[in-house]
Chains A and B, each alone.
Chain A
Amino acid sequence: MSTETRIDLSQVRRRLDGQGGRRYWKSLEELAETPGFQSFLHREFPENASLWTGDAGGRRDFLRLMGASMALAGLTACTKQPPEKIVPYVRQPEGIVPGKPQFYATALNDHGYAKGVLVESHMGRPTKIEGNPEHPASLGGTDLYGQAAILALYDPDRSQNLLLEGEIRTWSQFTVALKAALDAQKALKGKGLRLLTEPITSPTLAAQVEALLAEHPEARWHQWEPAGRNSARVGAQLAFGQPVETRYHLDQADVVLSLDCDFVSEGPANVRHIRDFASRRRLQAGVEPNRLYVIEGSPSATGASADHKLVVKPSQVEGLARAVAAGLGLAVAGGSSDRAAFVAGLVKDLQAHAGRSLVLAGEGQPPAVHALAHAINEKLGNVGKTVTFSDPVEARPVDHLASLAELAADLKAGQVDVLIVIDANPVYSAPADLDFKAALDKARLRIHAGLYLDETGERCQWHVPLAHTLESWGDLRAWDGTATLVQPLIAPLYGSKSVHELLAACSGQAAKPGHDVVREHWQAQLGPEFEARWRQALHDGVVAGTAFAAKAVSVQPGAWAQAAPAAVSGMELVFRPDPSVGDGRWANSGWLQELPKAITKLTWDNAALMSPRTAEKLGVKVGSTSRGQSTELVELRYKGRSAKAPAWVVPGHPDDVVTLHLGYGRTRAGRVGDGLGVNASLLRTSDAAGFGGGLEVRATRQAYTLACTQDHWTMEAQDQVRARNLMRVVELEEYQRDPHKIAEEFAHHRPAKDLTLYPPDHKYEGNAWGLVVDLNACVGCNACVVACVAENNIPVVGKEQVAMGREMHWIRVDRYYEGDLDDPAVHHQPVLCMQCENAPCEMVCPVAATSHNEEGLNDMAYNRCVGTRYCSNNCPYKVRRFNFFLYQDWETPSLKLQRNPDVSVRSRGVMEKCTYCVQRINVARIEARGQDKPIKDGDIKTACEQACPAQAITFGDVNDPQSRVAQLKQQPRNYGLLEELGARPRTTYLAVVKNPNPEVSHG
């Protein structure tokens, strides 16, 4: 049924080499013109995709199922509606209007740091998370984790019971045992007591931990986080001789150099970084476009936004950083002489923008690179302008690798009597050389507290289920020190306790509610007028005036400046947090597993990512079928350990390097995350947490299928113009010289307005909704996709269904490569329903289930749809999604709580698609009409627009010439996809404008 085609990479390369001008391509499959790609291109769903593909798809099963369908589905329309109950309040709380959502300000815990959010609550049921415009780390935007946090709250696999050796115990039984253990330790001054946590910024929690340590002076507090900010932490210590927090001000920088730093994804300020960076990518009056140089050792979302991207082995980044430092006149040794022309041009550009430039070092690079970045910023006079420093926000910042190694050593030496692990999962995530699993068993009493009964919890005697951030009181600090009071949106679903309550129990206050702990802490901080300030802080989502003051620090000369980069030989293995599931903590989120990863577009798996040349050298065979991408497992031998992972060819990956993302290979994540992918921690060592050399790779010829969405929903454009009627990129200089050239170049694609069967000039009275995506601001972070899933009750379909092209996302982020196979530029393009004025889908629906409304929206009435799929067949943009099966989980009670009550939950056999969040439009319209006011520009935000940290998506009324969307559509770089078809899309795009430096060559 599905035939496999191998891709001949050398042939693909030859084909690309013969091309002139800008050419955009989506995948190797496209270049090789495999039948699998062709079927994705020419059909809305690949051949046979509509066949039943269960485990046993025989005729008998088919008949049985059809029988059931007739009995159950066919006749349901003829039955009576079951009676429904109304359950009003006994005493209705003040301020609640049934049916109207309320928004509460709180913060989510992102690796210990605060991300300020507003949570939508429908009568006590949180359903959606939005960014808090008043919070410095959000400014209204969120990342994909902020959006996915709501699903984690309702995850049915969360730990629900307090356990001792797997048997259910009560909180009081636990606290009695805890007290006994701690009392025994008190006599020993806590000599055998160890605490293991993630970084802590919560002022209350930090004070509680300090109090516990004061009671047990010889106890030790260890911290571990597998993919945190260790290099930044240690690098700052190295450079300044003291722990400091670094704050980047990307909005102030004209020239940005990223040393393998994926600043749009990593760190507690990534949302703010995207906002600040994107504010300089908008081509508007008064905005000076910035320029981004990226030197990267593994493909990243940041690299895709670069104006100059230099792909090198990760071990070569330090040498290049040293060369740049030396070029700027710093007394730094060990500079690499490679790429001298690039470095010279870069140095010149940095010098020309002294005080208005910024150098960032990535978490995957060793601390010395961070120290170099600090030295370069200081030399360029950027300190105080594009980069500032403050006291550390974390309580007791430590080197996590050293801290965990120390704990492992103590454990092995039998010195640990009581180990309390809070929210960390070292058994899964510790570097392999620490052998933490075996070490952990040496602790006599092991207590684990966490959201899940995970790999670590499983090996501890006691397991305490923790409450989710949305269920508990607390506080957190953002990366700039701003404190937020964390307030619960709902009582703990499973009666779990918060960390504050656990720590209070450690100090003998087992019955103290978390609210009182936090409130008492802040009572001392906020002083007089406490009640008013506390309420104000809860309302705003920030405690006013808590940001840390800037601190003057200077780079200390040290051995790091002179030391040559550590020699790394052979092939290299890179460890990075997964773009979707991070370090594994999000592994059980179906939304994130199914999210196509930023660059690779893989779902449900991690893979050994390698360049086309490396794949050719290894003889790895990749191919495609209509049932997913076929590849083979490769054996990775690294520092005496080995693992097998599916190979995946990524154009633009450095040669002789393999990237393996962390976060997979979980065994106790839950029913979604268990058994997916390979655990990279089993190869990772504590001396080389970011990358290491000496990797050997061997092809095994064992076949493996990956679900990659890169070819799905490929729009069918004529090949010779495929280039620019989908993706448009110009260079800034060219654009500034003649802004209209790019539009004129394609003017002949636009059909005459009267070339239509409809009355040619239908006037839309009143509001006419439209949307613009600024491709130059978009960084491909995927927040919009998850936001859309959360807002519109979009189901998760699973790996097999994704492989067949049945993912249900209403907005997808298409990734285009431009240029040659080995070092292509990467562009992102979010594609949602175009809401065509001449919608091709509407003409072919036999039951008028999809039709136009008076505001120009292309409506979809689910209950009218009979599932012919003619509409998706006729949609040139391929934005319609069909429920082949009952994908929505109608059974799990906790998941029902998450659903947005304003959007229908779709069933099997129904077509669905983006509606521009029509539920939000309707609410705004009814509200405005009730008050007899027009809808103001910006009153309606679609879910994707609201989440977008880059503000790349703008929705509004195109009939209002003053609206932001109408203004943006006036820009000369505005264009519609496949305009030659005459569908007149309401969604348009602003072309990418790259700002390369003519003086820089990549040699």
Chain B
Amino acid sequence: MSLDETGWGWRGIQLATILVYIFMFAPILVVVVLSFNASQFGGFPMTGLSLRWYEKLIGNEAVLRAFQTSMWIALVTSGACTALGVMGALALVRYEFPGKTLVNTLIIAPVLVPETVLGVGLLLLIRFAQQPRSLLVLVLGHILLAVPYVVLVVQARLIGIKRVYEEAALSLGANRLQTFREVTLPLLMPAIVASLLLVFTISFDNITASMFWRPPGVETMPTQILSMLKISISPEINALGTLMIIVTVGLPLLGGGLARLLGRGAR
């Protein structure tokens, strides 16, 4: 067996890789294709092309409400979570203090604890505090889920920003807040944009914990899809899936381009 670029082993590996990519994307493509199916059943075969399921979707009140709910939650979560994460990352990268390892572990912990356990935990807390399940609880929960990722992303960028820039500003008479606003923040912009988008998608997409936390009667986009799936595999779900793919893939690609542009401007 040879793993050289021309050998059979390498060919085999390349073939396996292509198959892996097909495995990852074929099912998603099938959803997109089936969303244009004229048939009134969600599956194959295709009986013709039609946009009727998109029309039907636009008139679906429950879906529109779920979409709005998810949008608001994701927007609020991404703003609040990014602010918390940036502050945390600043403390962890720019300062030495006792207990730093413990703080680091605690900040990473939400990734390591199974989401089901996080879900139960927060419910128990509000039960003991005798608070109702509200949208605020859902937002706070989403912030908890996403904050480790923000800290990781911002930390990585912050390590790359040399401290001499900040020291220069300080020695020229700027106070710490001014230094942050005029020097650190612009340099951090790409990481901040990346965090905002990352948190937005984490929140918008979350289902495991949201099933525990959502207030009674409130559906987010993913829980709405799940409850639709339980009734029937209607072609409407395919249309909905396709629209969501366009939003969630288009947005980060756009944001990535933007971040690159901003990064270039800051340099």
Physical interaction between A and B = no
Show the binding face of A for B, using Cβ within 8 Å.
none
